[in-house]
């Protein structure tokens, strides 16, 4: 499977010129994968973070929903004392006055009402609540340590689906660290799947699943797979300034990334070889770059000092839409981009439009379910040629090849929060 894909791209590997790859993708004969679309339609999934409405001024209405099949609302959290789910930011989630997507002269309250109206506008757009997030593993541990808390968790999560207009639930437990915690995750998924089925069998149940070898090894993939609609496989953050010893690509498609042997193709093959069907795997991709400070050159696999100079990006991540900074280069062997600023000694690694197109070809050739991105505020939607989302979708064959499964509007009749919108 992967060999046939590499054969298609073999001529790219004769040298490392990004222009050669660009010429291929812009040629009429191979501009898309037209005529070879996934029979069920490809999923395009994106995480929308509730905190993005503040400093970044990014709102749900900024997402080009014609190119998206699933929006994951991040994050819903857990009360460790009761086990029940709760909002992380009620002001943003259900109180903030925002323009109505259906009628800009009117207002809705909170991002969740905006998303519900977007569902009414695009009937194939599903909105899924994502529970957890990085650094919340202790909350899942608290839930699974007590039977009453576990029941409260499941019942309250189902209650959120019905009250706030969600099309399903995503569990973002980063990460179960052993077989016992994996068994607890299976228990959560089993109970959620059973309850969701009583509302509608096509409600979504997913997890944000790991790429790291130790984290994948801790999971019983076959058992978990029984309950999932699909997997959001996080094929990014393979390396980074705070934990790596050498510079490297953090979301490369092929080969060693410079710091370790992780690559998206190897991660996906690991899931498939463990018994997960390829069309249930959604390829995770980043809409941000990772910054290595104190890099002495535009080179992968080199040591760096972490020294912040005056003109450097202060953080260790940066939104894709703000790139490139300095000289840009695309590595067609790895399927990853980088830029280097010699004055600040910063190296930034990321996916660019070429990466997105390569990963679209990989999605098709490997018969995957689609693509996923973290997070929605990072892309350059205004520039169609540079946009990661639009480059990926266009390479697959355009919006017509996307999943057309309808969302739900008729299972929220008892909702008080959505009463005025229905």
Question: Could you tell me which of 250, 278, 275, 268 has the C-alpha nearest to residue 209?
Answer: 268
The CA-based dihedral angle spanning residues 149, 46, 205, 405, taken in that order and rounded to the nearest 10 degrees: 150
Question: Could you tell me which of 134, 114, 129 has the C-alpha nearest to residue 72?
Answer: 129
Cα dihedral sign for 290, 296, 300, 305?
A: negative
Q: In this structure, what token pair is assigned to residue 5?
A: 């894909």
User: Any bridge partners for residue 329, and if so which?
Assistant: 338
What whole-number distance in Å separates Cα of residue 239 and Cα of residue 159? 38
Helix boundaries (H) for 90-212: 90, 111-121, 137-144, 147-164, 179-199
3-state SS, residue 76: strand
How far is the CA of 284 from the CAs of 39, 233, 368, 370, in angstroms? 21, 5, 11, 9
What whole-number distance in Å separates Cα of residue 287 and Cα of residue 93? 23
User: Any bridge partners for residue 293, and if so which?
Assistant: 346
| DSSP summary character for residue 295 | B
Active site residue 174: yes
For 339-399, give the DSSP string: EEETTTTEEEEE--HHHHHHHHHHHHHTT--EEEEE-GGGS-TT-TTT-HHHHHHHHHT-G
**Is residue 128 within 8 Å of 202, Cβ to Cβ?**
no
Largest CA distance in the chain: 61
**Is residue 110 within 8 Å of 93, Cβ to Cβ?**
yes
Helical packing angle, 179-199 and 137-144, nearest 10°:
80
**Is residue 287 within 8 Å of 268, Cβ to Cβ?**
no
Of 163, 174, 302, 328, the active-site residue reads: 174
How many residues does this entry show for the chain? 422
Which residues are marked as active site? 174
């Amino acid at each position: 499977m992967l060999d046939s894909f590499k054969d298609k791209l073999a001529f790219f590997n004769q040298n490392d010129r990004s222009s050669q790859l660009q010429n291929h993708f812009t040629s009429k004969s191979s501009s898309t994968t037209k005529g070879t679309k996934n029979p069920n339609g490809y999923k395009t999934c994106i995480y929308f973070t509730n905190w993005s409405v503040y400093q970044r001024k990014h709102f749900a209405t900024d997402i080009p929903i014609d190119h998206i099949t699933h929006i994951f609302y991040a994050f819903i959290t857990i009360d460790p004392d009761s086990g029940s789910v709760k909002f992380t930011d009620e002001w943003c989630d259900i109180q903030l006055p925002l323009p109505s997507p259906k009628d800009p002269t009117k207002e809705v309250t909170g991002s969740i009402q905006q998303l519900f109206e977007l569902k009414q506008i695009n009937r194939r757009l599903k909105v899924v609540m994502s529970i957890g997030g990085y650094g919340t593993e202790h909350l899942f541990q608290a839930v699974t340590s007590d039977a009453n808390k576990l029941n409260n968790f499941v019942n309250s999560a189902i209650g959120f689906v019905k009250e706030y207009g969600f099309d399903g639930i995503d569990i973002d437990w980063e990460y179960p660290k052993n077989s016992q915690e994996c068994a607890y995750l299976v228990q959560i998924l089993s109970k959620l799947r059973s309850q969701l089925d009583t509302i509608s069998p096509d409600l979504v149940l997913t997890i944000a699943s790991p790429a790291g070898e130790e984290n994948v090894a801790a999971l019983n993939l076959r058992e978990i797979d029984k309950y999932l609609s699909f997997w959001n496989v996080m094929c990014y953050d393979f390396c980074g300034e705070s934990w790596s010893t050498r510079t490297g690509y953090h979301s490369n498609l092929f080969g060693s990334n410079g710091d370790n042997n992780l690559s998206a193709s190897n991660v996906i093959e690991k899931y498939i070889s463990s018994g997960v069907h390829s069309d249930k795997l959604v390829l995770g991709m980043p809409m941000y770059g990772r910054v290595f400070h104190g890099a002495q050159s535009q080179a992968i696999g080199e040591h760096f000092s972490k020294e912040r100079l005056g003109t450097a990006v202060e953080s260790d991540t940066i939104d894709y839409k703000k790139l490139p900074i300095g000289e840009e280069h695309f590595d067609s062997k790895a399927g990853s981009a980088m830029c280097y600023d010699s004055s600040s000694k910063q190296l930034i690694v990321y996916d660019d439009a070429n990466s997105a197109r390569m990963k679209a070809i990989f999605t098709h050739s490997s018969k995957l379910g689609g693509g996923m991105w973290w997070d929605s505020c990072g892309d350059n939607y205004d520039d169609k040629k540079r946009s990661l989302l639009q480059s990926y979708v266009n390479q697959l064959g355009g919006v017509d090849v996307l999943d057309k499964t309808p969302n739900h509007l008729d299972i929220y009749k008892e909702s008080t929060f959505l009463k005025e919108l229905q």
